[in-house]
Chains A and B, each alone.
Chain A
Amino acid sequence: MSYHLIGISVLWLFLYGYLIIASIDFGAGFFAFYARLTKQDPLINRLISRYLSPVWEITNVFFVFFYIGMIGFFPDTAYYYGSALLVPGSVAIVLLAIRGSFYAFENYGSKNNIVYLFLYGASGLLIPASLSVTLALSEGGFILKQDQTVSLDYWALFTNPLSWSIVGLAIVSVLFISACFLAFYATRAEDHAALKLMRTYALFWSTPTIIIALTAFIYLGQHNERHYQNMMDLWWLLALSIAFFMIAMWLLYRGRRYGLAFVCIMLQFFCAFFAYGIGQYPYILDPYITIQSSVTSSSMGFALVVVFIGGMCLLIPSLILVFKLFLFDADYVKGKK
């Protein structure tokens, strides 16, 4: 396997990982705020701070990892996306900053501060919205290169239904994934009131998720025929995705096996996400960057892969330790430790 394939596979896997764990985090922010407005906050806020506080930094590292890895394996991306995204990227930084500081400050009072809670909830929706715009950009037609300058065509971006449907999809998926996970976590904590609330949220957000996903797919067909056709050729992945979605819905509806339901949702997104990614092959930015044209030198590729393997040997055992201590330790989850 060549370095560009190894690189893009690893990065796509990490982006998928970020998608799942960050969605849990982002959605929880929104639910915390919403619950406060509807006076249901005592139910779920304890649950949220129990799980999220120890792991938010890890979530953030996933993002930095993807981004640095991208620049490492495909240095041209830094030039094109970097030049075009100065303003939206900076806005995303500010949002991430607001959110990151919430966790540090929450134990010391900001949790009860409605302004901070609002920022926390709002950033939970705005960050995925702003990050997902890059997916729309990669479809081409928005980033333009004239002579030596790269720029972003804001007008085209904001008037295009594809970009809006991708943003919409990002937001509803975040809420859907998060609600499912928190429902599962509530069963582990044997917190029945929270479970009831989160199950309702999960069921509620499932329908918009599937509708907007289909809408985005249709608009993709209008915007980038090649990508759409490639995805159609991967119809079996899309079908699998829908099948997992159905299973998850059934389990949620019957109110049992929440762990399995969450795994199904992870698989649902895995299939769809990879169908999308493989369909975009070989482009990273249509039509300027392909993975073959932008891949780094082979010596760097080799070094990155070696570091990656070494890093994984260090990280996987440590991550297992974290999960054992915070996610699967029943006493901790129930708040006895």
Chain B
Amino acid sequence: MGIDTVLWSKLVTGMTLGFHAIFATIGVGIPLMIAIAEFIGIRKQDSHYALMAKRWARGFVISVAVGVVTGTAISLQLALVWPNFMKLAGNVIALPLFMEVFAFFFEAIFLGIYLYTWDRFKNPYIHWLLTIPIVAGAGMSAVFITTVNGFMNQPGGFTMQGGQFTAVNPVQAMLNTATFSKVFHVLSSAYLTGAALLAGIAAFTMLRKGVTGYHKKALKLMMAVVMLFGLLNTVAGDVSAKFLAEHQPEKLAAAEWHFETESGADLILLGWLNAEHQIIGALHLPKILSFLAFGNFNAKVTGLNEFPSDEQPPLLVHYFFDLMAGIGFALLGISVLYFLFALWKKRNEHNKWLLRIIALGAPLAFLGVELGWFYAELGRQPWILRGYMRVEEAATTSPSVRILFFLFLLLYIVLGMVSVLVLRRLFNNNPAETEMEKRAQHAGDKRTGKGAHA
């Protein structure tokens, strides 16, 4: 029953989820971008956009494979590493997990069809229609898994009797109080991250190889999407914070280093703590925390000292929260800057510095997703099921988890490296311009009757 086993179990789970989150976010975000690009391409009869959809889809497949692989790992690990958790909660969360499998199924089938049928339909809209089940399937799988995570934060839909959950109402468990804000925020951040990634890649390529028509169009399209979802994501983050203030105040208080319950609470940015838990070197924004939490500058915000010390989350999450929110505003700012430059005729929106900042936005967005999850998960500590089961009660007792940590670490290093290598080979050896020319030639061949059977 050593505490060590619990720590290693946490590390295995945190590592797997942290790695999966990268690919899961791509998996949710990119299909929407592919769908948008293909649609605009058909609309405008502009083959640049069609090529975008094609190239993005090709890269996407690689990421999906790693997402599927790591996702399968997580779902097995839930039972292998947290058998007691599954024993207690399994009969409540089984429904969303089951639904999630159907969502994958649906997505997998249509992705298979989509990838292998680029030129098989006469009407291009039919091929485009295939993106709808892909976007919906990916989005729904995020929704379902997020309801599970919501349940772990706000358990509901059952009664506890003799150490077991009885009178289970699985639908009510899915629609717990955390579900709405979480789903909204997870989806908006995934779309934001997908767009920031593709915009970053376009900017990066232009920095290295010069400005081209293809990349200009890709950048403009994706910056518009970043702006839209940057805005929505900020709203979603605000909704999440208001949710926490009402239902899970210890998580918000830990993130804000808000120790004493008070009205008109200050918002504290960055800084550090001394041995006596005094805040040093931080920026204080008077009454802003009350406003953020309840929309009222004088509202009362619950402080961390209201909770027993063995139920307080780690204070480290303060930095996670601040950085995540900072990244959110930064991404929004980048897109606003881009459009200001684009609209203001004397300025060149493709100048080196702006492109560099946009390229930096891609890793920042992923950092934001990771920080957000680590905040949400560490902020739930010490609970695995808030109020019902503590993490150390849930873990496996097998000491082998330590070895497994290293086994999986190795696996993720290899998978990560191979996917980067493959992606580089895929795109570096085949730049968009060359491919564009090849396609034009191919189309020409067809017209003169060389590509007979098609």
Contact = CB atoms under 8 A, between A and B. Distances in A.
Interface string A303-321: 1100110010011001101
A299 B72 contact: no
A82 interface: yes
B102 to A, nearest CB: 4
Interface stretch (B38-46, B108-116, B208-216, B246-254): B108-116
B346 interface: no
B120 interface: yes
Interface in A83-109: 83, 85-87, 89-90, 92-94, 96-97, 100-101, 103-105, 108-109
B428 to A, nearest CB: 11
Nearest to B100: A68
Nearest to B397: A149
Interface in B68-126: 68-70, 72-73, 75-84, 86-87, 90-92, 94-95, 97-102, 104-106, 108-113, 115-117, 120
Contacts of B83: 78-79, 82-83, 150
B101 A65 contact: yes
B116 A326 contact: yes
A105 B426 CA distance: 10
Interface string B395-436: 011101101100110010001001100100110000000000
A61 B422 contact: no
A22 to B, nearest CB: 13
Given A61-B104, A64-B104, A299-B168, A104 B91 contact: no
Q: Give the dominant DSSP class at A's interface.
A: helix
Given A79-B84, A101-B415, A304 B79 contact: no
B279 to A, nearest CB: 43
A322 interface: yes
B72 A83 contact: no
Contacts of B61: 104
B453 A336 contact: yes
Most buried by A among B62, B68, B97: B68
Given A78-B87, A79-B87, A105-B62, A68 B98 contact: yes
Range for the number of chain B residues in contact with chain A: 35 or more
B343 interface: no
Contacts of B77: 90, 93
A299 B95 CA distance: 11
A54 B167 CA distance: 43
A225 interface: no
A303 B171 contact: yes
Interface stretch (A69-77, A226-234, A256-264): A69-77
B408 A90 contact: yes
A318 B110 contact: yes
A222 interface: no
Nearest to A302: B170
B270 to A, nearest CB: 39
Nearest to A63: B72
Given A71-B86, A97-B415, A314-B106, A54 B171 contact: no
A82 B408 CA distance: 17
Interface in A11-70: 53-55, 57-58, 60-61, 63-65, 67-69
B166 interface: yes
Given A79-B87, A83-B83, A104-B61, A68 B170 contact: no
B66 interface: yes
A325 interface: yes
Given A61-B101, A61-B105, A304-B95, A67 B76 contact: yes
A8 to B, nearest CB: 15
A90 B407 contact: yes
A288 interface: no
Contacts of B411: 94, 97
A58 B69 CA distance: 13
A319 B104 contact: no
Contacts of A321: 109, 113
B170 A299 contact: yes
B169 interface: yes
Contacts of A303: 95, 170-171
Given A314-B102, A319-B109, A79 B407 contact: no
Contact of B79 (A53, A71, A105): A71
A138 to B, nearest CB: 16
A96 B422 contact: no
A303 B174 CA distance: 12
A135 B170 CA distance: 30
A78 B407 CA distance: 22
A57 B91 contact: no
Contacts of A83: 83, 396-398
A75 B158 CA distance: 16
Contact of A307 (B75, B102, B109, B113): B102
A82 B80 contact: yes
A57 B68 contact: yes
A63 B91 CA distance: 20
Contact of B91 (A75, A151, A326): A75
A89 B401 CA distance: 12
Contact of A297 (B78, B91, B398, B426): B91
Nearest to A96: B72
A130 B245 CA distance: 48
A53 B61 CA distance: 11
B65 interface: yes
A82 B76 CA distance: 8
A55 B115 CA distance: 11
Given A69-B98, A96-B72, A104 B65 contact: yes
A75 B98 contact: no
A71 B101 contact: no
Nearest to A325: B113
B69 A54 contact: no
A86 B80 contact: yes
A79 B89 CA distance: 11
Interface of A: 53-55, 57-58, 60-61, 63-65, 67-69, 71-73, 75-76, 78-79, 81-83, 85-87, 89-90, 92-94, 96-97, 100-101, 103-105, 108-110, 149-151, 296-297, 299-300, 303-304, 307-308, 311, 314-315, 318-319, 321-322, 325-326, 336-337
Which 5 pairs of residues, A with B, have the shortest CB-CB distance? A104-B65, A72-B94, A82-B79, A75-B90, A78-B86
Interface of B: 61-62, 64-66, 68-70, 72-73, 75-84, 86-87, 90-92, 94-95, 97-102, 104-106, 108-113, 115-117, 120, 133, 166-171, 396-398, 400-401, 403-404, 407-408, 411, 415, 418-419, 422, 425-426, 453
19 contacts: A54-B113, A67-B76, A72-B98, A82-B80, A85-B80, A86-B398, A90-B404, A93-B73, A97-B69, A101-B69, A104-B64, A104-B66, A109-B422, A299-B167, A303-B95, A304-B94, A307-B95, A307-B102, A325-B120
Given A71-B97, A72-B94, A149-B397, 17 more contacts: A60-B108, A61-B105, A67-B75, A72-B95, A78-B83, A78-B86, A78-B87, A79-B90, A82-B82, A82-B86, A83-B83, A86-B396, A87-B398, A100-B68, A101-B66, A104-B64, A321-B113
